[in-house]
Amino acid sequence: MVVVVIIGVLTAVAVPQYMELQRRAADSAARSDAKNFLIMASANSRK
């Protein structure tokens, strides 16, 4: 029973941190995509 409680506590701590990590990764990917779009748009407008 103690093992189940310990696993529950660890899960309660780990899940929010994992969700934050996923959110930061998605934000970083969106910023990178926007930057690449602007670079490509700028390069294509010079042609």
- pLDDT tens per residue, the chain (47 residues)? 999 999 999 999 999 999 999 999 999 999 999 999 999 999 988 76
Q: Give the pLDDT confidence score for residue 45 in this predicted structure.
A: 87
Q: Give the pLDDT confidence score for residue 47 in this predicted structure.
A: 66
3-state SS, residue 14: helix
Q: Alpha-carbon distance 36 to 47, whole Å?
A: 17
The number of domains in the chain is 1
Q: Which domain holds residue 36?
A: 1-47
Identify the CA nearest to 7 among candidates 17, 15, 19, 21.
15
